[in-house]
Structure 1
Amino acid sequence: MFAQHFPVLPIVLPLIAAPLCILLVRSQLAWLFATVISALSFFISVDLLLTVLDQGVLSYALGGWQPPWGIEIRIDVASALILSVVTGISTLVLVYAKESIAKEIDSSLHTLFYTAHLLCLAGLSGILCTGDAFNLFVFLEISSLSTYTLVSLASDKRCLTAAFRYLVMGTIGATFILIGVGMMYMKTGTLNMLDLAALIAEFDSSRTLNTGLAFILVGVSIKLALFPLHMWLPPAYTHAPSAVSAFLASTATKVAVYVMVRFIFTIYGAEYVFYAMSMDIILLVLAIVAIFKCSFMATVQSNVKTVLAYSSVAQLGYMILGISLVSSLGLMAGLLHIFNHALMKGALFMAVGAVLYRTGSVDIKAFQGLGKQMPWTMAAFSIAGLSLIGVPLTAGFVSKWYLVTAALEQQDWVIAFLVLLGSLFAVIYIGRILEAAYLKKPAEHVDGNTIKEAPMLMLIPMWVLVLANIYFGIDTSLSVGAAEAASQWLTEGNSAASLNMGTVK
């Protein structure tokens, strides 16, 4: 009986827990409380994923009011997969944060950090679960406002400028999304996504709906940091506390990609967006430029967090590239890369945070000699870095394999070559860091004897993600199976997108 309420619990649990968390004066109690709540959300999310894979889409009517009159919680395979990633990463980051924020955030702000984290988790979960377009905007703002707070909590005052830039760009993006949703409502008179899909499909052409789509896609592109609307992301990830960088890089932009997928495939319909509006060409060009421009920017940075930030924008390019291929296999590859990139980038940012914890710096010079001084941390960074490059037996290889396969399926040899070529940039910027760690001696002013391995509470979640990178690079049954099921539902099983995707080019 209780299980029937599982679809709403990933939202309700952290949303109710957040105001309770701030009442906990002692930071250790707040940490334990937030971690338990996040862990419960994760276990519920995994159960929802398994249920959806077995039974199909889950619908939950809030307050017993049936849609479209009431607010609907609707969980499909795609949302359940990403929800499991978000709640799982959240739990690992909270375990990691206990030691990490001790040196990066003033002790008086620790409880605020855990409260904002829970609010952000509630917002991201709400975005993934809601079946109502306006409530998607509401949850987007809940997650965004808490994210601005999280970024601004670092002791480095440059975080305030980064958070303000993030706030300005995020507000513009949210405003665009709200205008787009308003135009859809003005034309259809409904906000329920299934209802919207059915009513929009009745229009052959509508300037109002076209304009609404344009506003939504631009707004979502800002939120997911699609080139050239990405300039808020590098400073935010660079100057935020390490635990925040790890959480946001693994979840926030991935959820925004899902929002784009949801509007394209479940509301407007892929045929309308890609065939009638030719958005596939636009997304394809922006994705390719993002891969090469931001990968190049990553190769010339000296701050390792900035390197990983630009890398994140480039990797988002791969996800959008998969969507722009307009095929079931391409969409599957994009969704799969959301899952795999969360694992690798979470581990990388955690490793960099551990280096900052011990050395007080994330400049590439601070990594010199750390292969011997912090062997477990650098081993984790190395494996996650190899996954980012796409080396076989890692999760990153699986993603890029399916991207290349999707391109070759459509005989786009150039796209397949560009995917492989983009990986060479990752070899350069990850290689520079590994060279400093393993082949260079510590700087003369650094006493190597004073640098020790990171605390266990930082190493354990880091290595959980590293081992997940290896496991999902070998056994792909769950990750690929879920991504394939999600892709098939979006391109074939969903009424708004019932078309043979291979022909829409």
Structure 2
Amino acid sequence: MMDAILTHLPVLAIVLPMLAAPLCVVLHHSRAAFVLALVVSALTFACSAGLLSQVWSLNQSGLPAFISYELGNWAPPYGIEYRVDLLSGFVMTFVSGIGMIVLAYAPASVDDEIPRSKHYLFYATYLLCMTGLLGMCVTGDLFNVFVFLEISSLSSYALISLGRSRRAPLAAFQYLILGSIGATFILIGIGLLYQMTGTLNMADIAARLPHDHAPRTILVAFSFLIIGLCVKMAVFPLHTWLPNAYTYAPSVVTCFVAATATKVSVYAFIRLIYGIITPGFAFDTLPLDSELMFFSLVGIFIASIAAIYQDNVKRLLAYSSVAQIGYMLLGISMATPTGLTGGIVHMFNHALIKGGLFMVAGCFALRLGSVQLSDWRGAGRTMPWTSLAWAIGGLGLIGVPLTVGFVSKWMLLTGAFESGRWSIGLMMLLSSLLAVVYVWRVVETLYFTEPSAAAKRATEAPLSMLIPTYVLIFATLVFGVWTPWSAGIAHQAAIALLGVTP
């Protein structure tokens, strides 16, 4: 029985939340839907962790470090293949884990920000979003990547529109328009690749593509795929949907989407560059590395400067997310083991940091009724534990030693210096100073100003929200000191993608 379960873990991680979503609608009850969603998310996390453990064992034993699952017993490339390697197992594990933690955090925030009549719909849509994100990680079929991407995107639009502000539906609509444009670009690219190769299996596409003298159709296909994924990742200057989406969505939605959605799109981008296009063609034949570095650095500086001038804390964190995506792209564009490791581990580290900080913002929103920085004045005196969580998470965002932010930024700096890109390393150091400014603005407001009227009346956030928040905040310290699991797996995944000997 256990062997059968272990064999079917790749599909169980997708089927469990997918089947639970309509069950939440059938239950039509807020508390029952929450319990079902929480149990299913925990089981999904267990499936993902089990897959990662299996793949890690294969890697350590010297065997091919991936698990292949044939849907309907149709062998690839004729059938759809689910393939889990170190990178996909790593991303699945932290996406499902954060999804579970955010769900545990959700009830008080959902009660405060979402009409009770829509609670069961929220939990159903949340599970559908998780299904899409995990499906993108596990599938080895390029068209399935598009299908799961749209499942997660459509669910995200619905979740964002649940915000209590009248601007929430407008933000969701703006995201829908830009997201649909990005999805259309991706679909066109997939169609052109299918036209040229006659297959949709990603490993088979890579084997059939003529990388030395690629015809124009292949170049156009890659261009459509890259631009479409850059929209989904919110890469500057294609990021315009993200600030409003994060700002006006319900707090619990922002926590989940900010910590997972863009990271899975980055994962898909890595698969495209290193699994299909190949680094040699992308960075040697095409000048993609210099272009990615340019837009990454410009995005880091412009988004960080924009964050400094925000009074809405959720918008501040949203612009910070655009900047952090730039760091991930820098690592991807370096195409070295150290640089790529830094980019991969920064996905995980930023998910912890930004998920935790948005949870802090949700705690303040519950007690202060606002996420405007001016209303947070002096809240460090009445909400000390919530304020401390912001201070610790902010240190990680800056990249202070003993936090996860330092680990990934140090690897990115090392990768830049190893490849002779000293100017990029120096600009990364300078950009971290901008993070100090916008993080300190919030710390100064919380601890060194006279309390606002809302802060004087406030009480500490409930334990049901503080405990999940501190799970992520403390994780930024744990994985900042103990790195074999995060950075170790990221390094093994990086050398596998690059095809180099450890």
C-alpha distance in structure 2 between counterparts of 1:375 and 1:10, whole Å: 38
Superposed displacement of residue 326, structure 1: 1.9
Same amino acid, percent of matched pairs: 49
Deviations 1:353-411 (A, max 9, x none): 10000011111012111111111111111101100000010011101010100011012
Distance across 2 between alignment mates of 1:267 and 1:12: 27
Counterparts of 1:300 and 1:180, CA distance in 2: 38
Deviations 1:236-291 (A, max 9, x none): 00000000101011000000001110011111111111111110011000000010
CA displacement at 1:85 relative to structure 2: 1.0
- CA shift, 1:153, in A, is 0.5
Is residue 489 of structure 1 aligned with residue 496 of structure 2? yes
Gaps of 5+ in 1: 494-499
C-alpha distance in 1 between matches for 2:40 and 2:303: 36
Where do 1:67-82 residues align within 5 Å? 67-82=76-91
CA distance in 1, matches of 2:355, 2:203: 34
**Cα deviation, residue 462, structure 1:** 0.3
CA contact 2:211–2:281 (8 Å) conserved in 1: no
Selected match of 2:470 from 460, 463, 466: 463
Give, in whole Å, the separation in 1 of the partners of 2:329 and 2:409. 13
Separation in structure 1 between the aligned mates of residue 422 and residue 454 of structure 2, nearest angstrom? 49
Residues 170-197 of structure 1 show CA distances to partners (whole Å, capped at 9, x for unaligned) of 0000000000000000000000011001
- 1:36-435 paired onto structure 2 within 5 Å: 36-55=39-58, 56-201=65-210, 204-435=213-444
Under a length normalisation based on structure 2, what TM-score does the superposition of the two structures give? 0.97
In structure 2, what is the Cα distance between the partners aligned to 1:32 and 1:222? 34
SS of structure 1 residue aligned to 2:485: helix
- Note if 1:479 corresponds to 2:482: no
CA deviations 1:198-228 (Å, max 9, x no partner) are 0014662211111000000000000000000
Cα distance in 2, alignment partners of residues 326 and 192 from structure 1: 24
| Superposed CA offset, 1:104-163 (max 9, x none) | 111111111100000000000000000000011000000000000000001111101100
Take 1:415 and 1:203, find their aligned partners in 2: how far apart are those partners?
Answer: 30
**2:459 aligned residue:** 452
Counterpart for residue 62 of structure 2: none
Cα distance in 2 for residues equivalent to 1:67 and 1:3: 21
Paired letter, 1:246: C
In structure 1, how many angstroms separate the alpha carbons of the residues matched to 2:148 and 2:127?
Answer: 13
Quick one: distance in 1 between partners of 2:24 and 2:455?
40
Q: Deviations over 1:22-70 (max 9, x none)?
A: 1112201101100110111111111111111111111000011110011
Cα distance between partner residues in 1 of 2:27 and 2:466: 27
Three-state SS of the structure 2 residue aligned to 1:59 is strand
What amino acid is the match of 1:73?
A: Y
Deviations 1:415-460 (A, max 9, x none): 11111111111100010000000001112x4461x21111111101
Task: Measure the CA separation in 1 of the matches of 2:299 and 2:447.
Answer: 30
Contact 1:251/1:342 (<8 A) preserved = yes
Do 1:341 and 1:396's aligned partners in 2 also have CA atoms closer than 8 Å? yes
Contact kept? 1:385, 1:430, Cα under 8 Å? yes
Q: 1:129 to 1:310 in 2, by over 3 A?
A: same
Give 2:78's aligned amino acid: W
Alpha-carbon separation, structure 2, partners of 1:280 and 1:268 = 13
Which moves more between the two structures, 335-344 or 3-12?
3-12
The structure-2 alpha-carbon separation of the partners of 1:206 and 1:33, relative to structure 1 and needing over 3 Å to count, comes to same
How far the C-alpha of 1:328 sits from its partner, in A, is 1.6
Q: Secondary structure at the match of 1:214?
A: helix
* Displacement over 3 Å in runs of 4+: none
Alpha carbons 1:390, 1:396 under 8 Å: kept: yes
1:9 to 7, 12, 17: 12
Tell me the residue number matched to 1:496: none
Structure 2 match to 1:497: none
Structure 2: gaps spanning 5 or more residues: 59-64
**Aligned residues of 2:92 and 2:134 also touching (Cα < 8 A):** yes
**What amino acid maps onto 2:464 in structure 1?**
L
Contact 1:273-1:279 at 8 Å conserved across structures: yes
- SS of 1:23's equivalent in the other structure is helix
How far apart are the structure 1 equivalents of 2:280 and 2:210? 10
Q: Is the 8 A contact 1:53 1:485 kept in 2?
A: no
CA–CA distance in 2 between the matches of 1:426 and 1:286? Answer: 18
CA distance in 2: counterparts of 1:486 and 1:382, whole angstroms: 32
Give the Cα–Cα distance (whole angstroms) in 2 for the partners of residues 381 and 287 of structure 1.
26
Q: Is the 8 A contact 1:201 1:268 kept in 2?
A: no
Q: Which amino acid in the other structure matches residue 211 of structure 1? A: V
Match of 2:25 among 19, 22, 34: 22
Aligned partner of 1:355: which letter? F
CA–CA distance in 1 between the matches of 2:265 and 2:152? 11
Report the more deviating stretch, 190-199 or 363-372.
363-372
Q: Secondary structure at the match of 2:292?
A: helix
Q: What is the root-mean-square deviation of aligned Cα atoms in Å?
A: 1.2
- Whole-angstrom CA distance in 1 between matches of 2:445 and 2:145: 44
CA distance in 1, matches of 2:150, 2:419: 38
Separation in structure 1 between the aligned mates of residue 164 and residue 425 of structure 2, nearest angstrom: 44
| Farther-moved stretch of structure 1 (364-373 vs 308-317) | 364-373
Instruction: Report the 3-state secondary structure (helix = DSSP H, G, I; strand = E; otherwise coil) of the residue aligned with 1:60.
Output: strand
The DSSP-based 3-state class of the residue aligned with 2:130 is: helix
- Please list the CA deviations of residues 81-107 of structure 1 after superposition, one character each: whole Å capped at 9, or x if unmatched: 111111011001111111111111111
**Higher relative contact order structure (alpha carbons within 8 Å, sequence separation ≥ 6):** 1
Work out whether 1:35 is the aligned partner of 2:57.
no
